[in-house]
Amino acid sequence: MSEAAFDAFTPEYARDGEILKLIGELREVFENHFDRTWFSLIIDDMPIDFRTVRDIRELVSLTTLYPGEEWLIFQGVLELEIFCSTVKRFLLPVLKERLGISWLFPQRRVRDTQQYIVRKFVAFTFPYNLERLRRLSQKLKSCLLLHYPLLR
């Protein structure tokens, strides 16, 4: 391949590489902290649509980009925004109670010491991980709108 032909493809490869890097970071945060069984148990009665989680899983499962998938990615980012705001609004205020580590409800407290320590650690790191997820989704949204302004 000639150098001129290689230079013609570089901006698209750079754009796709940037988008895939952000999706990879989102995947790590989402799968390690939010796509877990314990998390699905504590958000059971929250107003999160099944489609929201499905679209987020679809987004974070992408490892290559094909032309026309920008709308799929953008839809996943919009669902991530809804997810983050819903979790922040409905779960953060009652997180310790849901995890069973709150002193407000001693009858529902976890009795196992190891479980208590693990859940206490989760409660401590959860707001940070939620903010990380929100920031990465905003970063991906900005990147998408920069490269695909018609998504607005």
Indicate the domain borders of the chain: 3-151
User: Please, what is the end-to-end C-alpha distance for the chain in angstroms?
Assistant: 36
Q: pLDDT tens, 57-114?
A: 999 999 999 888 999 999 999 999 999 999 999 999 999 999 999 888 777 788 899 9
Alpha carbons 113 and 121: distance in angstroms, whole number:
12
pLDDT at 79: 96
If you ran DSSP here, which 8-state letter would residue 43 be given? T
Compute the average pLDDT of residues 113-131: 95
Is the pTM above the cut of 0.85?
yes
pLDDT at 40: 87
CB 77 within 8 A of CB 144: yes
Q: pLDDT tens, 35-53?
A: 998 898 888 888 988 899 9
- pLDDT over threshold 70, residue 4: no
- pLDDT over threshold 60, residue 124: yes
Binned at pLDDT 50, 70 and 90, residue 2 comes out as very low
Among all chains, which residue has been given the structure tokens 């205020």?
A: 93
How many Cβ atoms sit within 10 Å of the Cβ of residue 76? 25
**Stretch among 22-31, 41-50, 132-141 having the lowest mean pLDDT:** 41-50
pLDDT at 9: 57
